[in-house]
Amino acid sequence: MKLYNFFRSSAAYRVRIALNLKGLPYDYVPVHLTKDGGEHKRDEFRAVNPLMRVPALVLSNGDILTQSLAIIEYLDEVFPDPALLPTDSIERARVRAVAQIVACDIHPLNNSGTMAYLRKTLAQDQQAIDVWYASWITSGFTAIEAMIDPKPYSFGNHPGLADICLVPQVYNARRANVPLDAFPKILATEVACYKLAAFDQARPELQTDAE
């Protein structure tokens, strides 16, 4: 498999964690999102992903998958051990809800494209952008804090989809200096996850294109 990545992309970070948890080897293909106007905007990458976003996973048969949650659920269906979702349908829905708070409610409002639009098109200064960024992190994390019960992971004794989404979002929050003291459950989950090599080795600063 071949994974198109940017080291700081939290969506790509999610997929790296999932691949590591599954013990699946992959080739790391860096796609820089800011250098030279953004390598993701080049025609050769548009042919891989028409949305021009990372991650994109190229399977051994040549099929291409995009969108981190779709990729992760594919991996969980095809490589079911260890499972990333509970067997109970209610618990699966709860795990997916936390994952989607990150992937659908927080991340799209804070990704590099949104930040660039605020800065360049809407002419917002950095202070206003920082307030925007922190507001969505805080509202989303406040909900997640009420929904999880680390034992030691978000939903029990095994890491899963919620943890895979949550840890990269905490990394983003730290980069933006968003206060996190109000979220002890989230921080406890992060500590537990980073004790696992699958999470630790997926850290942005350890990737081949890290700056």
Mark residue 21 as left, alpha or beta (left: phi above 0; alpha: psi -120 to 50; beta: remaining).
alpha
pLDDT of residue 36: 83
Start-to-end Cα distance in the chain: 24
Domain parsing of the chain, residue ranges: 2-82, 89-198
Q: 24: pLDDT confidence band, cut at 50, 70 and 90?
A: very high
Check pLDDT > 90 for residue 113.
no
- Could you count the other beta carbons within 10 Å of the beta carbon of residue 210? 11
Write phi, then psi, for 121 (nearest 5 degrees).
Answer: -85, -45
Q: Are 153 and 160 in contact (CB under 8 A)?
A: yes
Count, residues in the chain: 211
Element (DSSP H or E) covering residue 3: strand 2-5
CATH number for the region 2-82 comes to 3.40.30.10
pLDDT of residue 51: 94
* Domain 89-198: CATH architecture, name and number where available: Up-down Bundle (1.20)
pLDDT of residue 22: 98
pLDDT of residue 191: 98
Check pLDDT > 90 for residue 91.
yes
- pLDDT tens, position by position, 28-71: 999 998 888 889 989 999 999 999 999 999 999 999 999 999 99
Residues above pLDDT 90, as percent of the chain: 89
Do the domains 2-82 and 89-198 sit in the same CATH topology, yes or no? Answer: no
- pLDDT tens, position by position, 147-205: 999 999 999 999 999 999 999 999 999 999 999 999 999 999 999 999 999 999 999 99
Mean pLDDT of the chain: 95
Check pLDDT > 90 for residue 211.
no
